[in-house]
Structure 1
Amino acid sequence: MKFQSEGLISLKINDDIYDYKLYQSLESLARTKSQRRSAKELNISHTVFNRRLLKAEQKLGLKITQKVGNGTLLTEAGTDLLNEYRKYIIQIKKTSNINIAGGHISSGLLESIRQPFNINVYSSSDKDAFELAKRGAVDILTLDDPLIAYELNIDFTPIAYDYLVLISNPNSKEIKSINDLEDLEFVNVEGSAQRLAWNSLEHYDINYSLKHTVNSQFDAFKLVKNSENLYSFLNASYFKGNEILKFDTRHVISVIKVNEDKPEVDEFIEFLLNDGQELIEKQGFTLI
């Protein structure tokens, strides 16, 4: 798809203009995972909400939503569409606030401890957040997994530790040892620290398969909880689960200073490393 800006609240895609109402709907749906809840949130009928999505899909020639259980999730195309709009909004929004973009886990952490700073937090995958940083659209890049920084030899500042836990349906077989992971089917989360889990399974010569790939850990959690045959490794700071790979998957949550010209950026990072550590610990992370 070819994206082009159009005014302040629209994007032109393949010569068709999509106004803010569509993106408002996608933003809400990404959060609620329910068309009915999103319709209520936007104060429109479920019929109007559904018609808005279907009309966009017909014009795009792409599915942007998918039914999962009793809810509705964005497809990869829908997520890409929403992310492009988010990038555009960040770029045109001139503000004295600190603009932060990052992975779902790390950005969620900073969103929860935002006081006393004025910050705007945009949640995506590490990869998409890095693209925003390259454009100079954000002041701070925050990473769920420092892999990108390692690969490009970019200096980053660790602010916390986290690890992955095994998530399963209450009726799934009990996992007591590494060998019990043999031949299980997993839900993969794009751009997350899960690579540490897959590397560990390969290290232990465990056969496994990635049955589904989703865009967020919350989507993975929902899929797993609705199936006795699916498993996933998710961040212990947000989810409770089996700690069988705790030490194999320990990793840092980090930030990268992108904007060198805002003193507030340095002040915020200094806060995270000092007074903010107590707040970080309360959010379920391990201190540096």
Structure 2
Amino acid sequence: MNIKPLVNIEIDGKIYNYKLFQSLDLLSKTYSQRKAAKKLGISHSVFNRRILKAEKELGYKLVNKIGSGSELTDDALKLLDLYHTYNNRLKKSKSIRIAGGHIITGLIESLDLPFNLEVFSTDTDSAFSLAQDDLIDILALDDPLIALSNNLDFTPIAFDYMVLVANNKNNKKIESVKDLSNLNFVPVKGTAQRLVWDTLKDNNIPFNLEKEVKSQFDAFKIVKNSDNLYTFLNGSYFKGNDVLKNQTIHSLGFVYSQGLDSEIDKFVNYISNNCSDLIKLQGFSSF
């Protein structure tokens, strides 16, 4: 079965058929309505009526005469760019496209996997936005909260925990949760730090949060250049105090459409069943 999606575009409440955009595309290459019509297998008159009808509905010109030929107007070129943008989104990539948190994407890239992958490391909100727009195949999460909050199926592949990170010159002794009282922390959005803040609140420990950052690496640099700031980062990537290890164990994993693409299913199953030793070597606990 040969299935090929075709793009229609709605403009100001009216739907314009993919045939219009195919016509504009061919006209932009041939500069001839007759040649474009022939390639489409329609008559020149049908082609011309298609353009004129769209111009009337849109309220602006799509085609200008140039000598014995035709060219697209600037407005038509903008429409064609929009069509290509959406059309490209529908094309099946030869790679499995993955976007997500810096920790789990780093783990994926460290594994020797027999798959063709495109891995994009970004903050959770940006990755989630890409997933909502169907621009990626797998949403990779450093923390499952966004999946749980949106009732998405979450497939865990590893465990991690948070460690306290501070400037090496800071000599404050921290052995229990009580020793975290009144400290200033750098929060990182989209991470399992939420488990730290919940633990501190549950134990009535006062604390302060400074300006939030999007990357654990940014938080690390800020803290290392400060004498009075702290942060909690993933123990798999950063060395630190594991004072809240038991309270911050969390899973990392994938959100994807199971059963929709056999190659994606094979990829997730491969990591789940064949990579436990490699995952442990990277500092994580495997499932």
Per the normalisation by structure 1, the TM-score is 0.66
CA displacement, residues 83-110 of structure 1 (integer Å, 9 cap, x when unaligned): xxxx99x958852110001111111111
Please say if 1:158 is aligned against 2:160: no
Q: In the alignment, which residue of structure 2 is the partner of 1:216?
A: 215
Distance apart, 1:152 and its partner CA: 1.8
Q: In the alignment, which residue of structure 2 is the partner of 1:245?
A: 244
Q: 2:131 corresponds to which letter in structure 1? A: A
Distance apart, 1:257 and its partner CA: 1.6
Q: Stretches of 4+ moved more than 4 A in 1?
A: 90-94
Per the normalisation by structure 2, the TM-score is 0.66
Question: Please, which moves more after superposition, 168-177 or 235-244?
Answer: 168-177
CA displacement, residues 21-57 of structure 1 (integer Å, 9 cap, x when unaligned): xxxxxxxxxxxxxxxxxxxxxxxxxxxxxxxxxxxxx
Distance apart, 1:174 and its partner CA: 2.1
The separation in 2 between residues aligned to 1:223 and 1:248, in whole angstroms, is 24
CA displacement, residues 121-156 of structure 1 (integer Å, 9 cap, x when unaligned): 011122221111111111111111111111122111
Which runs of structure 2 are paired with 1:118-267 in the superposition (5 Å)? Answer: 118-172=116-170, 173-258=172-257, 260-267=259-266
* Aligned CA distance change for structure 1 residues 217 and 253 (closer, same or farther; 3 Å): same
Distance apart, 1:212 and its partner CA: 2.5
Larger radius of gyration: 2
The separation in 1 between residues aligned to 2:190 and 2:182, in whole angstroms, is 23
CA displacement, residues 2-28 of structure 1 (integer Å, 9 cap, x when unaligned): xxxxxxxxxxxxxxxxxxxxxxxxxxx
Q: In the alignment, which residue of structure 2 is the partner of 1:46?
A: none
The separation in 2 between residues aligned to 1:141 and 1:270, in whole angstroms, is 15
By percentage of residues, which structure has more strand?
Answer: 1
* Aligned CA distance change for structure 1 residues 178 and 210 (closer, same or farther; 3 Å): same
The separation in 2 between residues aligned to 1:260 and 1:137, in whole angstroms, is 18
Q: 1:235 corresponds to which letter in structure 2? A: N
Q: Is the 8 A contact 1:138 1:258 kept in 2?
A: no
Q: Is the 8 A contact 1:161 1:252 kept in 2?
A: yes
The separation in 1 between residues aligned to 2:191 and 2:140, in whole angstroms, is 12
Q: In the alignment, which residue of structure 2 is the partner of 1:285?
A: 284
Q: 1:236 corresponds to which letter in structure 2? A: G
Q: For the aligned residues, what is the CA RMSD?
A: 2.0
Q: In the alignment, which residue of structure 2 is the partner of 1:275?
A: 274
What 5-or-longer segments of structure 2 have no aligned partner? 1-84
Q: 1:240 corresponds to which letter in structure 2? A: K
CA displacement, residues 66-92 of structure 1 (integer Å, 9 cap, x when unaligned): xxxxxxxxxxxxxxxxxxxxx99x958
Q: Is the 8 A contact 1:138 1:259 kept in 2?
A: no
Distance apart, 1:261 and its partner CA: 3.6
SS at structure 2 position matched to 1:212: coil
Q: Is the 8 A contact 2:258 2:265 kept in 1?
A: no
What 5-or-longer segments of structure 1 have no aligned partner? 1-86
Distance apart, 1:161 and its partner CA: 0.4
SS at structure 1 position matched to 2:187: strand
The separation in 1 between residues aligned to 2:211 and 2:147, in whole angstroms, is 27
* Aligned CA distance change for structure 1 residues 225 and 261 (closer, same or farther; 3 Å): same
* Aligned CA distance change for structure 1 residues 155 and 242 (closer, same or farther; 3 Å): same
Q: 1:130 corresponds to which letter in structure 2? A: F
The separation in 1 between residues aligned to 2:274 and 2:165, in whole angstroms, is 32
SS at structure 2 position matched to 1:189: coil
Q: 1:200 corresponds to which letter in structure 2? A: T
Q: Is the 8 A contact 1:171 1:228 kept in 2?
A: yes
Q: Is the 8 A contact 2:166 2:230 kept in 1?
A: yes
The separation in 1 between residues aligned to 2:236 and 2:277, in whole angstroms, is 14
